Structure 1
Amino acid sequence: MGSANRPPTPDGVPLMGHGWAFARDPWTAMREWAERGAVVELSFPGRSMYMVTDPQLVERVLVADQDRFTLSRAQRQTFAGIEDHAVTASTGERWKRLRRALQPAFEWDGVRSYGDRMAERTAAHVDDWDPGDRLDLWAEMRRLTLHVLGDTLLGVDVEGEEAVIHEAADALVAKTDFRRPGQLLPDWVPTPTQRRFERAVGALDEYIEGVIADSSPEPAGDSVVGVLLAARERGDLSPAEVRDNLTALFLAGHDSSAVTLTYAWYELGRHPEVRERLVAEVDGVFDGELPGADDFDDLDGVRTVVDETLRLYPPAFATSREATDPVTIGGYDLPAGAQLMLPQWVLHRDERYWEDPDTFDPARWERDADRPEYAYFPFSGGPRHCIGMRFARLELVIALATMVDRVDLDVSVDGPLTFTPSLSLRPENDVRATVRTT
């Protein structure tokens, strides 16, 4: 690859390259780097990466030319030791086989059947709060979404086992924290973070094996556990693939939704006029009754709040891919094996496509906007889009509508809202909420 045909490279620092700025503040760093061009070349200790921030080029990577790209090494390394045999860490024919096995549990007709139970579980959770209670909002949303996931998609009672699942998720986030001093060390080095991760994975594996032992195969369209066990009986999945895919669903299936609900409440606290519009809407739609999937299309305001929250705070703030062949992207020749980063964080806040991009404005979704499709892709895109996208969107709308109808929260953060630079966009500050009567 000739130097004249290489993408521009933002300024870095000796030895660390762009890793220092990324570890300190990836959100600012990515937006500043994007100012250098639609494709920029970045260097990190031990590897290089190309950041792509043009919607048409993102669509090409994820959709039009998706057969020339695969899961990145970074993502495979992220899930090493916990989801090695899961769809989240698989490529090629194995990925296709796993996706086919899981897909029946995520069809819309099956997902929409969970709507009533989502509302019931949310109402029960909120009804345990009393006026004046001071809540750790992030912790409450984690418990809520884990119970919703267990009660619906997984068909598993997680009561009393929350700590096992949360500790595994926390250990994975700690292991992938960009600021961790041992981030560049191999996994066999027994750092405190690595030892914590291995203990947490061992405990979660034991719990998952118990879930599998207590479950039975079910036809397509029923719980994910049953669908996976039926696939194992047919010989389509191995025991390790069943276990690791359940692990992936337990972790990602609640964490991303909890993040989104936390930030939705944070923004509603800062914009009481938006919350008032939601209260009026849900009163008009279900008049004191619990919502269900049939109400989804009528909850326009709630959907726009969810969409706007996912725009400002995408749980997966960047998607990664790896080129399987030499490719030309944006006029630049990239070699086979090139690592690509497609940052939702940058595109979702790009002023070329969004008016006042850093402002929380759900009404923008009610206005016509001529923007490229991949200026917004919170669930990634193409064949490898998040398999739980329909479930997550229904859950977020139903849960938020149910909560807004039953409770008001006075949300506070100590200082400016900051994020953990890791696998998902978790809040770094304590997000507190005081329960108020509606």
Structure 2
Amino acid sequence: MTSLPPGPKGEPLFGSSRTYARNPFRFISALERAYGDVARFDMGPMDTYMVCDPTAIERILVSAADRFRKPDFQGDALGDLLGDGLLLSEGDTWEQQRQLANPAFSMARLSGMADRITSHAKRRVDGWDPGDAVDIEREMTRTTLDVILDLMMGVELSEKRVRTIEEQLMPLGQRFEPDPIRFAAPEWMPMPDDAAFDEAVETLDSILDDVIDVREETVGTDADGPMDFLSILIRARDDGVESPEQLRDEMMTMLLAGHDTTALTLTYTWFLLSEHPEVERKVHEELDKVVGDDDPAMEHVRDLEYLEWVIQESMRLYPPVYTIFREPTEDVTLSGYSVEAGTTLMLPQWGVHRSPRFYDDPETFDPERWRPERAKQRPRFAYFPFGGGPRHCIGKHLAMLEAQLIVATTAQRYHLEFLGETPLELMPSLTAHPRQEMRMRVLER
């Protein structure tokens, strides 16, 4: 057994953090190509193991999940933003919150709300005219914000309020772009973008306070009342099960994590369809056959097989969450290497999803690779856009339902033509955003 995996030799103090910060996507791909299953590098002072072995990833996320935890982010900006919400909490707190959340995310409930998702998509598309040039990332962000506010908080905000939320996303995102100075600096050291970040958090907190106040007037005390997540949490708070601080953390997590990844999935799907007209033609043919002139509904979703493959392939090439982190709570062995408790483990969707070890022509957009007979030939965790195991994304089914219904509603009427430059450049934050404006021409089919 080799005690330490191979990896690049970094600089003094900074390790590989400056190389990583310049382009995390290129760095991840280079390490996966060079070292395969496991690579070791220094992220500033932090010893990091990048794990690209699907068997090891399955063990970390599923079969031995109780021996791994999320790293402690509570002392940094992510903790300030999301607090002890579902994304970051651990142990008993996480288990209690997950139990509370499950009814709001059940397929039984979501299936009955498909028409509301379609309604939000139709309202957005109704604001377009043939020939318009729209920023598709912004349009998809506003649509998915409308959906999460409606389905998970039971409220509808004015366009002005939604725009205010949207305006806070940039300073929040910039705070989490990789920065070698931050990697090397102590957490207490002030940085230039701290003030803008704090102001954005304060603004969102104020909006959430108003949302909670509005929902309190309609939620009631009956356990058979509304089952949106906010209503469930308000009842739990009134029963003494939930603290006001925990309620805030869950709503901030829901507001941000609940819309961003789906908006990005849709943005990249539209880009890829524009770049591959033969795939778009097949999507249109399937929509005409399955949906016809009806509004897309739950009854259609299960038959939109090719559209599902398109969305899966979009998340393979452009996973909105491009890497996740864990740390072992005890010494373990992964892929033949010894890993000490507390070591930072990076599980990069970006590197695994684009690996030629698991995908033929991995840079090619090929929805047909999701045909069941082809997909079953790959290791299970060669694809994990929603994580896996007990900590898998609770919004997985909502995200897929949203994506299919929003694409179907839009593609019934329009073809979208990308007007920007290619190849795309990506901006690494908590999620992978396109760096350029995603302007697209709206054309009638």
Q: Is the 8 A contact 2:21 2:178 kept in 1?
A: yes
Name the residue aligned to 1:65.
Answer: 64
**Partners of 1:364 and 1:75 in 2: CA distance:** 40
TM value normalised by structure 2: 0.94
**Partners of 1:106 and 1:184 in 2: CA distance:** 40
User: Which stretch of the first structure deviates more once superposed, 94-103 or 62-71?
Assistant: 94-103
Name the residue aligned to 1:287.
Answer: 292
Name the residue aligned to 2:311.
Answer: 306
Letter in 2 for 1:281: E
Letter in 2 for 1:429: Q
2:343 to 338, 359, 363: 338
Q: Is the 8 A contact 2:15 2:41 kept in 1?
A: yes
Indicate whether 1:165 and 2:165 are aligned: yes
**Partners of 2:113 and 2:180 in 1: CA distance:** 39
Indicate whether 1:406 and 2:413 are aligned: yes
2:381 to 367, 374, 377: 374
User: Which stretch of the first structure deviates more once superposed, 7-16 or 118-127?
Assistant: 7-16
CA RMSD in angstroms comes to 1.8
Letter in 2 for 1:162: V
> 1:218-253, CA deviations, whole angstroms, 9 ceiling, x for partnerless residues?
647721110111121222211011111111111111
Q: Is the 8 A contact 1:76 1:89 kept in 2?
A: no
Letter in 2 for 1:71: K
Q: CA deviation at 1:323?
A: 0.8
Q: Is the 8 A contact 2:14 2:180 kept in 1?
A: no
Q: Which runs of 5+ in 2 are unaligned?
A: none
User: Which stretch of the first structure deviates more once superposed, 131-140 or 406-415?
Assistant: 406-415
Change (3 A) 1:288 1:407: same
Letter in 2 for 1:197: F
Q: Secondary structure at the match of 2:211?
A: helix
Q: Secondary structure at the match of 1:29?
A: helix
> 1:164-185, CA deviations, whole angstroms, 9 ceiling, x for partnerless residues?
3223332221111114755654
Indicate whether 1:46 and 2:45 are aligned: yes
Change (3 A) 1:319 1:97: same
Indicate whether 1:259 and 2:264 are aligned: yes
Q: CA deviation at 1:147?
A: 1.2
Q: What percent identity do the matched residue pairs reach?
A: 36
Mapping of residues 7-406 of structure 1, within 5 Å: 7-34=5-32, 35-73=34-72, 77=76, 79-159=78-158, 160-179=160-179, 182=182, 184-185=184-185, 188-216=188-216, 217=219, 219=223, 222-366=227-371, 368-369=373-374, 370-406=377-413
User: Which stretch of the first structure deviates more once superposed, 38-47 or 156-165?
Assistant: 156-165
Q: CA deviation at 1:74?
A: 5.1
**Partners of 2:230 and 2:153 in 1: CA distance:** 6
Q: Is the 8 A contact 1:296 1:394 kept in 2?
A: yes
Q: Is the 8 A contact 2:44 2:183 kept in 1?
A: no
Change (3 A) 1:203 1:27: same
Q: CA deviation at 1:85?
A: 2.1
TM value normalised by structure 1: 0.95
Q: CA deviation at 1:152?
A: 2.3
> 1:16-50, CA deviations, whole angstroms, 9 ceiling, x for partnerless residues?
21112111111111122122131111101121111
Change (3 A) 1:373 1:87: same
Q: Is the 8 A contact 2:171 2:196 kept in 1?
A: yes
Name the residue aligned to 1:437.
Answer: 444
**Partners of 1:345 and 1:77 in 2: CA distance:** 24
Q: Secondary structure at the match of 2:426?
A: coil
User: Which stretch of the first structure deviates more once superposed, 215-224 or 63-72?
Assistant: 215-224
**Partners of 1:304 and 1:287 in 2: CA distance:** 20
Q: Is the 8 A contact 2:323 2:349 kept in 1?
A: yes
**Partners of 2:397 and 2:229 in 1: CA distance:** 14
User: Which stretch of the first structure deviates more once superposed, 291-300 or 179-188?
Assistant: 179-188
Letter in 2 for 1:176: F
**Partners of 2:75 and 2:434 in 1: CA distance:** 24
Q: Is the 8 A contact 1:164 1:200 kept in 2?
A: no
Q: CA deviation at 1:201?
A: 0.7
**Partners of 2:15 and 2:402 in 1: CA distance:** 41
> 1:381-412, CA deviations, whole angstroms, 9 ceiling, x for partnerless residues?
01000011111010001111111101111112
Q: CA deviation at 1:13?
A: 2.9
**Partners of 1:374 and 1:428 in 2: CA distance:** 28
Q: Is the 8 A contact 1:411 1:433 kept in 2?
A: yes
Q: Secondary structure at the match of 2:215?
A: coil
Q: CA deviation at 1:82?
A: 1.3
**Partners of 1:82 and 1:73 in 2: CA distance:** 14
Q: CA deviation at 1:189?
A: 4.3
Q: Is the 8 A contact 1:176 1:183 kept in 2?
A: no
**Partners of 1:77 and 1:190 in 2: CA distance:** 12
Q: Is the 8 A contact 2:41 2:48 kept in 1?
A: yes
Q: Is the 8 A contact 1:6 1:333 kept in 2?
A: yes
**Partners of 1:172 and 1:76 in 2: CA distance:** 16
> 1:110-158, CA deviations, whole angstroms, 9 ceiling, x for partnerless residues?
1111211111110111111011111111111111111122232321112
**Partners of 1:302 and 1:37 in 2: CA distance:** 32
Letter in 1 for 2:211: V
Name the residue aligned to 1:421.
Answer: 428
Q: CA deviation at 1:57?
A: 0.3
Q: Secondary structure at the match of 1:72?
A: coil
Q: Displaced runs of 4+ in structure 1, greater than 6 A?
A: none
Q: Secondary structure at the match of 2:48?
A: strand
**Partners of 1:277 and 1:205 in 2: CA distance:** 44
Q: Which runs of 5+ in 1 are unaligned?
A: none
Q: CA deviation at 1:78?
A: 5.0
Q: Is the 8 A contact 1:266 1:412 kept in 2?
A: no
